[in-house]
Amino acid sequence: MICNQKGGVGKSLIADELTFSFERSNIPVAFLDLDNQGGTIHKTSQPDNTLVSVIDTPGALQPQLAEWMRESSVIVIPTRTTSRDIDLLIRMQQIVKVNASDKPVVYVFNGWNRWRASSDFEEWFKQHNVSRNAYVVKLPQSEQFVQAGAAGMSIVKYAKRSNPVLATLNMVNTIRVLAGFSPEDSV
Ligand SMILES: Nc1ncnc2c1ncn2[C@@H]1O[C@H](COP(=O)(O)OP(=O)(O)OP(=O)(O)O)[C@@H](O)[C@H]1O
Ligand SMILES: [Mg+2]
């Protein structure tokens, strides 16, 4: 499940890329869009032989978030990397602590760049994350994500061997392994 009550942090993009990854490996994947506003390439679907479900959630206050979290096996929390993202990230960490403290959490530092705000954010995170179940992966800011999305494609097929592709593969493979699947064959 991909969640953060903050909007525009990359939840839908990550849900799509994770689903594309399972599809490339011929693993039957269900895609659940709990965000009625859409914004994803995949639409809600559930094959009969589903082995894994990818759940995209809305960027708004969600009374059911705690319940969804308790039913998920891996929690993915994307965040932008500025001081303005910290308050809501702390809220998400608290919801995890109460409802899913035993589950792996993958934090995706999205829009990662070489500017001061990103390194300050990472420094803050290191000091405030005490969970042993937490993993951090980074996705760079890239127009290629936007262009691939507009073409209805995974960035992995759209822009071969670029930095954003390598970061995307690292992200999806980290999540896949935590969910009990093998990593995607290198492309
Ligand atoms: N790393 C990135 N580089 C460039 N553009 C990005 C990146 N991540 C996300 N975007 C773009 O930012 C916008 C918001 O991303 P997305 O829709 O995935 O966020 P969201 O968290 O699902 O938002 P919401 O809370 O509204 O559902 C999209 O247009 C997406 O293509
Ligand atoms: Mg979304």
38 lines ligand 1 (CB under 6 A): no
Burial label, 53 (beta-carbon count in 10 A; 0-12, 13-18, 19+): middle
DSSP code for 19: H
Both tokens assigned to 80: 């932008």
Please tell me the predicted confidence (pLDDT) of residue 67.
94
47 lines ligand 1 (CB under 6 A): no
Contact 106, 74 (CB under 8 A): yes
Ligand positioned closest to the Cα atom of 171: 1
* Domains of the chain, first to last: 11-178 (3.40.50.300)
Rounded Cα–Cα distance for residues 137 and 20 (Å): 18
Contact 177, 169 (CB under 8 A): no
- Pocket probe for ligand 1: among 141, 146, 171, the residue whose CB has the most ligand atoms within 8 Å is 146
187 residues of the chain, pLDDT tens digit each:
999 999 999 999 999 999 999 999 999 999 999 987 778 999 999 999 999 999 999 998 888 999 999 999 999 999 999 999 999 999 999 999 999 999 999 999 999 988 999 999 999 999 988 788 999 999 999 999 999 999 999 999 999 889 999 999 999 999 999 999 999 986 5
Diameter of the chain measured on Cα atoms = 48
- Pocket probe for ligand 1: among 5, 13, 36, the residue whose CB has the most ligand atoms within 8 Å is 13
Both tokens assigned to 73: 């096996």
Report H helices in the chain: 11-24, 65-71, 86-99, 116-128, 143-150, 155-158, 163-178
Rounded Cα–Cα distance for residues 141 and 144 (Å): 9
Residues by chain with Cβ below 5 Å of ion ligand 2: 11-12, 39
13 lines ligand 1 (CB under 6 A): yes
**Ligand 1: nearest atom to the Cα of 146:** 31
DSSP code for 57: -
Distance (angstroms) between ligand 1 centre and the Cα of 40 equals: 10
Please tell me the predicted confidence (pLDDT) of residue 186.
60
Close Cβ partners of 153 (under 8 Å, ≥ 6 residues apart): 41
Please tell me the predicted confidence (pLDDT) of residue 156.
97
Contact 111, 143 (CB under 8 A): no
Please tell me the predicted confidence (pLDDT) of residue 132.
85
148 lines ligand 1 (CB under 6 A): no
110 lines ligand 1 (CB under 6 A): yes
